[in-house]
Amino acid sequence: MSRFLIGVCTADHQCEAYDASCEDVRDQWERDQRLTPRGRATDFWTRYPEDVALARDLGCSAFRFSVSWARVEPAPGEFSRAVLDHYRALVEAIVDAGMEPVLTLCHYTWPLHLADRGGLLAADFPDAFARYTTEVVRALGDRVRWWITFNEPNQLVYGYLKPWWTGEYRMPPGLDPRAGSREQMEAVVALMRALFVANARGRQAIKAALPDAIVTTNPFMLGLPAWLQRVLDWRATRLRSEGAWTAAGRIAARRPGRILGQVDLVAAALSATAGRGTAVDFSRPYHVAGLRLLVPADAAIGGPADTAGAVVAVVRGSTAAGAGGRLVPGAALLLVDGYAAMLAALDGGAAAAALVDDAIGQGLADRAGGRYRLVGDRLRDERYVVATATGNRALMQVVDDVIAGRPSAEVAEDHGLRRVERRGRLVVGVGADLPEEWRGREEELAREVAGRVLGDPARVELRPLGTRDRLPAVRPWTRVFDPLLRWVDMLFCALNSNWWHLGIAGKLPEWLCPEEAVGQQDVVGMDYYWGISNLSLHKVEQLGAAAGGGFDRAPVWPAALRGLLGYLARAFPDQPIVVIENGCVERASGVSRAEYLRQHWRELQRARQAGVPVTGYLAWSITSNREWGLPFGPASDFGLYHVELDTDPALRRVPTEAVEVFRAMVREASDTTTA
């Protein structure tokens, strides 16, 4: 008998401070996409003793972390002894604290030198991963028993597949806009095989040196109704040819219909959000603004804390209108139609402050001759993008080339580009009420696109659009049917089957999961966060929002965890199961982090009482982390201990209310043994 494994997690890119000498693919992605960079993160590289001590004091029996491949192998075939010694010290600290180190080898990141060779699709990727694994095992293996090869391998496909209901790729490397549904799915299929093979090679390298090691992966699992999961898995197991797999996945990448909006493009200080991405496609970002407070020059307000009980104006249809309730929680929001009305509310005393993008707010303040000023820190970053109707790949490629300042690549015409050429002019929606200096910048961008498409920058028609009119202008009314199409495609895309576990169980064709990759796990690992029941199928939209980073709106369904544990027990009757990640942001769909943990722990215990061999549970995460380029705040903070990543130079670890709930879970687990 052995003790139940219970503990906490973190990951290298999300907690270790940025080091320019060993960038990983995520650092490059965040810079190119103008996402929030990790910066110092939690400074775990130097402060790991503090976080290990926090886990020890909670009573944890396990501490999961990941090794940075980019740090360990800064150049092909060159392994850093200093970095491996650092991770050795971390492992020793975990062991000395009485906990099992759970080591993840690849947590969503890889070195730039691998990316330059083709990344996870490089011909030598499986062998390169095995060599890297061998070096880590040689340095740390005598003190580490638990190994995870790839974190959530089934999510890595979204660096190669952009579902038509998302405005941009979710993660690196991201294909260029010219990649159609067939090219995307061909890359996905190649990736799936490469991951299966690399996992097998990595596990074999570990077991060769450490026969008693416990090796697994932790696929991300959605909580879907049991009947629907069975249908998806049944369908996946009957796709026997590569063409069938490609076709079954293409429904996610191929936009139904070819109907265009009133304008070809919108360039009007439009911020990229997951919600907007369900309606249109985005260019790469061309500017990063930030939401800040605009106040009369003589106002006493210095930041959000001073707006408690006050009225704050926001423009309808802006991201400020959607986020204001979270960013200035003590204020009452006043919705106004446009920036002129916003200033009138400030002048007339109807509002004490306005929440506005600083790029726009500064222009308004400058134009008003000092009557207004921006105050306080940025409350959230806003990535400005150009938008077009979904599916205009060639036109969007030209826009991306202009923004990147590179020569336009040769593109195959699509329906959007052909319409522009037939018309003889490019129609671009621009902001009707933006400050002139800001609007001029976007008009110049539009003219350069027209010059590249039509050979004459003057052949552009600029249509002023109000804030609320930007998306409707580029997205025609016929797209009212998109939510139904999205619901069907999201749920029945072949990639929403549990394809990783199906492959390990030997239920996929050998060309996709070779024989050497079958059975390559010692325990069954899984991650679970969100789900929908039979009675909440309408919340599939919230599942999509969660995939895009909208964790605070994610549907919470604790019973799905128990169902998934039973499902995995039937799929792998001879292996124990470990929940490698489970956790919540400060509040998701009205459920607090503390209550979320309490409810999911209850469901896990019910599964164990029913005979499901669950032998471990790890909570994500020990502290606040940099959540993959998202702006930091309550909607992206999974930490049991809160760290003010942007405003606290000391990066103090402050316990949340969930700490005591988790401590009680640990106490209960300490009385539990497993076979």
Residue of 324 and 160 predicted with greater confidence: 160
Closest Cα partner for 445 from 262, 285, 272?
A: 285
Is pLDDT above 80 for 533? yes
- Mean per-residue pLDDT for 501-521? 96
Residue 418, domain extent: 260-475
DSSP string, 356-395: EEHHHHHHHHHHTTTSEEEEEEEEEEEEEEEEEETT-HHH
Q: Give 369's Cβ-side CA count (13 Å radius).
A: 0
Residues 223 and 86 occupy one common structural domain: yes
Closest Cα partner for 166 from 473, 445, 474, 546?
A: 546
Residues 315 and 295 occupy one common structural domain: yes
* pLDDT tens column, 137-158: 999 999 999 999 999 999 999 9
* pLDDT tens column, 186-213: 999 999 999 999 999 999 999 999 999 9
Q: Which residue has the tokens 């005591």?
A: 660
Is pLDDT above 60 for 674? no
pLDDT band at 135 (very low <50, low <70, confident <90, very high): very high
Is pLDDT above 60 for 480? no
Q: Which two tokens stand for residue 12?
A: 């290298």
CA distance 305 to 302: 8
pLDDT computed for residue 276 by the predictor:
81
Helix (H, G, I), strand (E, B) or coil at 384: strand
Q: Which residue has the tokens 């990535």?
A: 383
Residues of the chain with pLDDT > 70: what percent?
Answer: 93
Is the omega angle on the peptide bond into residue 225 within 30 degrees of 0, that is, cis?
Answer: no
pLDDT computed for residue 479 by the predictor:
52
What CATH number corresponds to the domain at position 60? 3.20.20.80
Residues of the chain with pLDDT > 90: what percent?
Answer: 63
pLDDT computed for residue 333 by the predictor:
92
- Residue 218 β-bridge partners: 151
* pLDDT tens column, 269-278: 888 887 787 7
Q: Which two tokens stand for residue 201?
A: 């090679």
pLDDT computed for residue 168 by the predictor:
86
Q: Which two tokens stand for residue 631?
A: 């702006």
Is pLDDT above 90 for 543? no
pLDDT band at 257 (very low <50, low <70, confident <90, very high): low
Q: Which two tokens stand for residue 533?
A: 């029941």
CA distance 644 to 650: 9
Radius of gyration of the chain from its Cα atoms, rounded to whole angstroms: 25
pLDDT computed for residue 244 by the predictor:
82
**Strands (DSSP E) found in 508-619:** 524-531, 577-582, 587-588, 591-592, 614-619
pLDDT band at 462 (very low <50, low <70, confident <90, very high): very high
Q: Which two tokens stand for residue 360?
A: 């726009």
pLDDT band at 471 (very low <50, low <70, confident <90, very high): confident
Residues 214 and 288 occupy one common structural domain: no
CA distance 499 to 233: 7
CA distance 585 to 633: 9
CA distance 63 to 55: 7
Which residues make Cβ contacts (< 8 Å) with residue 241, sequence separation at least 6?
Answer: 509
Helix (H, G, I), strand (E, B) or coil at 232: helix
Is pLDDT above 90 for 180? no
* pLDDT tens column, 560-611: 999 999 999 999 999 999 999 999 999 999 999 999 999 999 999 999 999 9
CA distance 155 to 549: 13
Helix (H, G, I), strand (E, B) or coil at 101: strand
The number of domains in the chain is 2
Specify whether the CB–CB gap between 283 and 386 falls below 8 A: yes
Helix (H, G, I), strand (E, B) or coil at 91: helix
Residues 194 and 111 occupy one common structural domain: yes
The pLDDT mean for the chain works out to 90
Residue that is last in its domain, among 423, 445, 475: 475
Is pLDDT above 80 for 557? yes
pLDDT computed for residue 673 by the predictor:
61
Is pLDDT above 50 for 402? yes
Classify residue 84 as exposed, middle or buried by CB count within 10 Å of its CB (0-12, 13-18, 19+).
middle
> Which helix (H) or strand (E) segment is 231 a member of?
helix 226-237
Residue of 136 and 397 predicted with greater confidence: 136
Is pLDDT above 70 for 486? no
pLDDT computed for residue 569 by the predictor:
97
Q: At what angle do helices 559-571 and 593-609 cross, to 10 degrees?
A: 40
DSSP string, 183-243: HHHHHHHHHHHHHHHHHHHHHHHHHHH-TT-EEEEE-EEEE--HHHHHHHHHHHHT--SHH
Residue that is last in its domain, among 475, 508, 530: 475
Is pLDDT above 50 for 628? yes
pLDDT band at 236 (very low <50, low <70, confident <90, very high): confident
Sign of CA dihedral 94, 96, 98, 103: positive
Residues 470 and 501 occupy one common structural domain: no
Residues 578 and 600 occupy one common structural domain: yes
Residues 232 and 323 occupy one common structural domain: no
Which residues make Cβ contacts (< 8 Å) with residue 626, sequence separation at least 6?
Answer: 13, 14, 15, 36, 38, 39, 41, 42, 632, 645
Is pLDDT above 90 for 374? yes
Residue of 530 and 250 predicted with greater confidence: 530
pLDDT computed for residue 482 by the predictor:
55
Is pLDDT above 60 for 59? yes
Residues 242 and 304 occupy one common structural domain: no
Closest Cα partner for 542 from 150, 221, 274?
A: 274
- Mean per-residue pLDDT for 385-396? 85
Specify whether the CB–CB gap between 42 and 644 falls below 8 A: no
Residue that is last in its domain, among 425, 445, 475: 475
pLDDT computed for residue 535 by the predictor:
75
Residues 349 and 442 occupy one common structural domain: yes
pLDDT computed for residue 347 by the predictor:
93
Residues 600 and 546 occupy one common structural domain: yes
Terminal C-alpha separation, the chain: 5
Which position among 23, 135, 152, 603 bears the catalytic label?
Answer: 152
**Strands (DSSP E) found in 89-183:** 100-106, 146-151
pLDDT computed for residue 265 by the predictor:
92
Q: At what angle do helices 436-454 and 358-367 cross, to 10 degrees?
A: 120
CA distance 153 to 50: 30
- Mean per-residue pLDDT for 512-519? 96
Phi, psi of 254 (to 5 degrees): -95, 120
Question: Rounded to a whole number, what is the largest CA-CA distance in the chain?
Answer: 77
CA distance 595 to 592: 5
152 is catalytic: yes
Phi, psi of 575 (to 5 degrees): -125, 145
Specify whether the CB–CB gap between 307 and 330 falls below 8 A: yes
pLDDT computed for residue 1 by the predictor:
45
Residues 315 and 371 occupy one common structural domain: yes
pLDDT computed for residue 373 by the predictor:
92
pLDDT band at 239 (very low <50, low <70, confident <90, very high): confident
Residues 80 and 139 occupy one common structural domain: yes
What CATH number corresponds to the domain at position 459? 3.40.190.10
User: With the CA atoms of 443, 448, 452 and 458 taken in that order, what torsion angle do they form, in degrees rounded to the nearest 10?
Assistant: 60
